[in-house]
Chains A and B, each alone.
Chain A
């Protein structure tokens, strides 16, 4: 099984860009597992939440599992409130 990892930048614009382009690119070209590393991210905004929802949709259609690493509890709660948390796996 292939595992790819991607560091998500803290800057909101770069975060959305990374999710929309790099992460989507990795999803499209591989199978297995995509680890998105949120260690440096303190907060997500609406655009990032939207990008993550799109990613989750793409992952559903492929056979790739998306793992979020280092997500803080505030972001986790926002994902729960958006009913998105169950679409990802989480790694401390």
Chain B
């Protein structure tokens, strides 16, 4: 770069600085313009361009000596009229698009000053096109045309500029470098006030643009392969190819370069070409032509052939052709340096290749595509959609033109609905930043204004829940051809299975599957599925605690969808709506799952969760999906009347933890809140009674209901950090889930009620409300307090009192775990707790250090204070047994 710049004189630099200064000022002034302003100016420019289309085409021919006047006129008209047709109704100032359903608005901002390189092949049309785009988008442009086309380009720019300024555009909005040189371009490309480089030109200019370090729209060279497949409409294809390849003497870089023709139609197609004015070269002529129009040193086309007529090229290289010859067709047998005519030829010389198969055709097209034309354009003529799809898959082209001419097709808006352009993005294959037809949107900075949106939420629960004493009798309403009762041996011995059996219609065949009373293993599930198959079961009754019901849920999953991969289904997720794995919706067997819980804590009879032990891999697998939820839940207190006191306490506090965590979860909603709050009230009122008076039917019944109601809440709102801590601690020290939860609970309440060190991203919450919701709970419980902080403190104390009342140890230390042992475990516990998905719905994002702090708080335990008996909850719902 330094070398290039050193050749610039001070005067030249001052001149270039002046152009930049004008453009920069114009761009700044232009930023104040409205949509109406720019639309008015654009329309006037388009009309002026149309008016001068022939004049400018003449200038281009005169200066460049390339192409055909008639076609250059058409190009100028496409660059104005067709481009206008595309941009006329498109907003380009302020709000340009709105997506109300997504809460997103797109706002357009101009880029500023653009430095634009334009080519020799389409000189005036490219300038007209870019001027219209720049005004539509409120940008200023400094043009640097190809040195051999700068006069016609400057004139095109002058016409556009004078019209624009006359209609109100800022002075200096367009300028053009006179007699531009490579050092000029380098200087401007690196200028700090140039915001974007739009380089439509040769590979050198494009490379320099991208090398400048500025945002650039560089577009590369082409080498368009055409596959003429045997199902194509041959007459149309031949006319289209001739039209395209001879358009402006082949100067459009999207024009056809090598046509690969199926063997079956090859001779016929060549005859048609010949009939319509093409000269088919023989082997000798092809070799002669190749030597003449392609530089043997570089393998690239000779500049003197570019844009020349077929007859002139033929004459120059000594071929004898008819005077009205439009196109020279040269059969080739391969692609590469040995076949010089297989490269890009911006003149009416077309290579053809005879192919024996579709595979060979695709290979040759790909070879042509990769011989200097990656990312640009490809053409196919076919009526076989499958072959068109295959071609589109393999070819590296921003534009794949089907059953139409390549050059005019790629320009867009004539043969298809692509965006009209004079600048073809070639993607990364061509070293470009886009595969688009460059258009007004590339001249804008588009800002996205994204409003906060509320994610859809849900409240999903099992179809039917039967509750209260002897609710099990409702089993009679469920006809079944074959029922399997999944339970554990202990419950069977207690006679609970018999109670269930009595409620099943007598004619229903029933088999009991007793599984171990522990978290289910894969082996147990597989055996269960085999039993279901053997019985051809259409109904599963899960009778037991969380483990039995979880086992039955997974058995049902595998029975209905044998292909279900439990390991994959257990993959972690952050948001259930966006999870990677989808649960199968199998139909192998139709089966109803009825869950009857024999504990009052987990709520597994209504939850969509199931835990499985994979002994072989030594890990616990948690499955979560609403398809796991039982179809029917029976909440019958007769199954929990004999629960021991310790189990009553542990499961009761588990239920309370579910409700308190669901209540402040970031996924909580009015639906889950109502359940959570009600469950909390019921636990505070009935757990002490159920604990002290195990035979109290009402207390047992209400605690059983409370567990189910809390589960309805956390099935939809999830739990929080308390569960993450308890899972880690309970597993390490063999402490029951409910008890582990209980040991953490008061500390977690205080933790969540404090101002978070780190907030949890939670689009559904408008503010941090955990402490306020705890205060609402305190109010519901009638705990008193004048301030939120005071109410929270009372809730923590009431919770501690409840724990004392049901004889939960005050600390982890009270379990007999030494401080040294616990200290050794804490680093692992923290890691495991942090990996636990439970905290991801906690209102406060726990930091690693905070998790350790919570573990240590639980170790040291709650305060020794004993308070007065629990305050009575509000009694307005007493009549409902609450």
Partners in one complex: yes
Give residues in A with beta carbon < 8 Å to B: 43-47, 49-50, 74-75, 77-79, 81-82
Contacts of A46 in B (CB 8 A): 22, 25-26, 29, 170-172
Q: Could you give, for residues 118-143 of chain B, a 1 whenever the CB lies within 8 Å of some chain A CB and a 0 otherwise?
A: 00000000000000000000000000
Question: Does B31 lie at the interface of the complex (its beta carbon under 8 Å from any beta carbon of A)?
Answer: yes
Nearest residue (CB) in A for B112 is A81
Bound-state CA distance A49–B22 (Å) is 11
Bound-state CA distance A16–B150 (Å) is 35
Give residues in B with beta carbon < 8 Å to A: 22, 24-29, 31-33, 112, 170-172
The answer to whether B31 touches A74, judged by C-beta atoms less than 8 angstroms apart, is yes
Contacts of A79 in B (CB 8 A): 28
The answer to whether B31 touches A50, judged by C-beta atoms less than 8 angstroms apart, is no
Bound-state CA distance A56–B33 (Å) is 24
Nearest residue (CB) in B for A74 is B32
The answer to whether B32 touches A43, judged by C-beta atoms less than 8 angstroms apart, is yes
Bound-state CA distance A77–B33 (Å) is 12
Q: Which of B24, B26, B28, B33 has the most CB of A within 10 A?
A: B28
Contacts of A43 in B (CB 8 A): 29, 32-33
Bound-state CA distance A73–B25 (Å) is 17
Bound-state CA distance A47–B32 (Å) is 15
Contacts of A74 in B (CB 8 A): 31-32
Bound-state CA distance A46–B27 (Å) is 10
The answer to whether B32 touches A82, judged by C-beta atoms less than 8 angstroms apart, is no
Q: In the complex, how many angstroms separate the beta carbon of A5 from the nearest chain B beta carbon?
A: 24
The answer to whether A81 touches B31, judged by C-beta atoms less than 8 angstroms apart, is yes
Contacts of A81 in B (CB 8 A): 24, 27-28, 31, 112
Nearest residue (CB) in B for A47 is B171
The answer to whether B32 touches A75, judged by C-beta atoms less than 8 angstroms apart, is yes
Q: In the complex, how many angstroms separate the beta carbon of A8 from the nearest chain B beta carbon?
A: 15
Interface of chain A, main secondary structure: helix
The answer to whether A82 touches B26, judged by C-beta atoms less than 8 angstroms apart, is no
Q: Given A44-B32, A45-B29, do A82 and B24 touch, yes or no (CB 8 Å)?
A: yes
The answer to whether A44 touches B31, judged by C-beta atoms less than 8 angstroms apart, is no
The answer to whether A78 touches B31, judged by C-beta atoms less than 8 angstroms apart, is yes
Bound-state CA distance A78–B29 (Å) is 6
Bound-state CA distance A47–B28 (Å) is 12
Bound-state CA distance A75–B27 (Å) is 13
Q: Given A45-B170, A81-B112, do A50 and B32 touch, yes or no (CB 8 Å)?
A: no
Q: In the complex, how many angstroms separate the beta carbon of A19 from the nearest chain B beta carbon?
A: 15
The answer to whether B25 touches A77, judged by C-beta atoms less than 8 angstroms apart, is no
Bound-state CA distance A50–B22 (Å) is 10
Contacts of B31 in A (CB 8 A): 74, 77-78, 81
Contacts of A82 in B (CB 8 A): 24-25, 28
Q: Which of A50, A74, A81 has the most CB of B within 10 A?
A: A81
Q: In the complex, how many angstroms separate the beta carbon of A89 from the nearest chain B beta carbon?
A: 20
Contacts of A78 in B (CB 8 A): 28-29, 31-32
The answer to whether A44 touches B25, judged by C-beta atoms less than 8 angstroms apart, is no
Contacts of A45 in B (CB 8 A): 29, 170-171
The answer to whether A50 touches B25, judged by C-beta atoms less than 8 angstroms apart, is yes
Q: List 16 A-B contacts (CB under 8 A).
A: A43-B33, A44-B29, A45-B170, A45-B171, A46-B22, A47-B171, A49-B25, A74-B31, A75-B32, A77-B31, A77-B32, A78-B28, A78-B32, A79-B28, A81-B27, A81-B28
Q: In the complex, how many angstroms separate the beta carbon of B168 from the nearest chain A beta carbon?
A: 10
Bound-state CA distance A81–B31 (Å) is 9
Nearest residue (CB) in B for A78 is B28
Bound-state CA distance A16–B31 (Å) is 19
Nearest residue (CB) in B for A44 is B29
Q: Which of B24, B31, B171 has the most CB of A within 10 A?
A: B31
Q: In the complex, how many angstroms separate the beta carbon of A84 from the nearest chain B beta carbon?
A: 9
Q: Given A81-B112, A82-B24, do A49 and B29 touch, yes or no (CB 8 Å)?
A: yes
Q: In the complex, how many angstroms separate the beta carbon of A40 from the nearest chain B beta carbon?
A: 15
Q: In the complex, how many angstroms separate the beta carbon of B701 from the nearest chain A beta carbon?
A: 67
Nearest residue (CB) in A for B27 is A81
Per CB-CB distance, the 6 closest pairs between chain A and chain B, nearest first, are: A81-B28, A74-B32, A78-B28, A43-B32, A82-B28, A46-B25
Bound-state CA distance A2–B25 (Å) is 33
Contacts of B28 in A (CB 8 A): 49, 78-79, 81-82
Bound-state CA distance A47–B165 (Å) is 14
Given contacts A77-B32, A78-B31, 13 further A-B contacts (CB under 8 A): A43-B33, A46-B25, A46-B170, A46-B171, A46-B172, A49-B25, A49-B28, A49-B29, A74-B32, A77-B31, A79-B28, A81-B31, A82-B28
Contacts of A44 in B (CB 8 A): 29, 32
Bound-state CA distance A79–B29 (Å) is 9
Nearest residue (CB) in A for B170 is A46
Contacts of A49 in B (CB 8 A): 25, 28-29
Contacts of B25 in A (CB 8 A): 46, 49-50, 82
Contacts of B32 in A (CB 8 A): 43-44, 74-75, 77-78
Q: In the complex, how many angstroms separate the beta carbon of B36 from the nearest chain A beta carbon?
A: 13
Bound-state CA distance A44–B170 (Å) is 10
Nearest residue (CB) in B for A45 is B29
Q: In the complex, how many angstroms separate the beta carbon of A25 from the nearest chain B beta carbon?
A: 25
Contacts of B112 in A (CB 8 A): 81
Contacts of B24 in A (CB 8 A): 81-82
Bound-state CA distance A78–B112 (Å) is 11
Bound-state CA distance A50–B170 (Å) is 13
Contacts of B26 in A (CB 8 A): 46
Contacts of B171 in A (CB 8 A): 45-47
Nearest residue (CB) in B for A50 is B25
Q: In the complex, how many angstroms separate the beta carbon of A42 from the nearest chain B beta carbon?
A: 8
Q: In the complex, how many angstroms separate the beta carbon of B34 from the nearest chain A beta carbon?
A: 9
Contacts of B33 in A (CB 8 A): 43
Contacts of A77 in B (CB 8 A): 31-32
Bound-state CA distance A46–B28 (Å) is 9
Bound-state CA distance A31–B28 (Å) is 31
Contacts of B172 in A (CB 8 A): 46
Contacts of A47 in B (CB 8 A): 171
Bound-state CA distance A75–B170 (Å) is 14
Q: In the complex, how many angstroms separate the beta carbon of A51 from the nearest chain B beta carbon?
A: 12
Bound-state CA distance A11–B355 (Å) is 72
Q: In the complex, how many angstroms separate the beta carbon of B33 from the nearest chain A beta carbon?
A: 8
Bound-state CA distance A50–B24 (Å) is 12
Contacts of A50 in B (CB 8 A): 25
Q: In the complex, how many angstroms separate the beta carbon of B25 from the nearest chain A beta carbon?
A: 5
Bound-state CA distance A81–B33 (Å) is 14
Q: In the complex, how many angstroms separate the beta carbon of A53 from the nearest chain B beta carbon?
A: 9
Q: Which of A44, A45, A77 has the most CB of B within 10 A?
A: A45
Q: In the complex, how many angstroms separate the beta carbon of B175 from the nearest chain A beta carbon?
A: 13
Nearest residue (CB) in A for B173 is A46
Nearest residue (CB) in B for A84 is B28
Bound-state CA distance A92–B29 (Å) is 21
Contacts of A75 in B (CB 8 A): 32
Q: Which of B24, B32, B112, B171 has the most CB of A within 10 A?
A: B32
Q: Which of A46, A74, A82 has the most CB of B within 10 A?
A: A46
Nearest residue (CB) in A for B24 is A82
Q: In the complex, how many angstroms separate the beta carbon of A88 from the nearest chain B beta carbon?
A: 15
Contacts of B22 in A (CB 8 A): 46
Nearest residue (CB) in A for B171 is A46
Bound-state CA distance A74–B170 (Å) is 15
Bound-state CA distance A63–B28 (Å) is 28
Bound-state CA distance A46–B140 (Å) is 13
Contacts of B170 in A (CB 8 A): 45-46
Bound-state CA distance A45–B30 (Å) is 8
Nearest residue (CB) in A for B37 is A43
Contacts of B29 in A (CB 8 A): 43-46, 49, 78
Q: In the complex, how many angstroms separate the beta carbon of B647 from the nearest chain A beta carbon?
A: 69
Q: In the complex, how many angstroms separate the beta carbon of B481 from the nearest chain A beta carbon?
A: 76
Contacts of B27 in A (CB 8 A): 81
Q: In the complex, how many angstroms separate the beta carbon of B167 from the nearest chain A beta carbon?
A: 14
Bound-state CA distance A43–B33 (Å) is 8
Q: In the complex, how many angstroms separate the beta carbon of B772 from the nearest chain A beta carbon?
A: 39
Bound-state CA distance A79–B393 (Å) is 50
Bound-state CA distance A81–B27 (Å) is 8
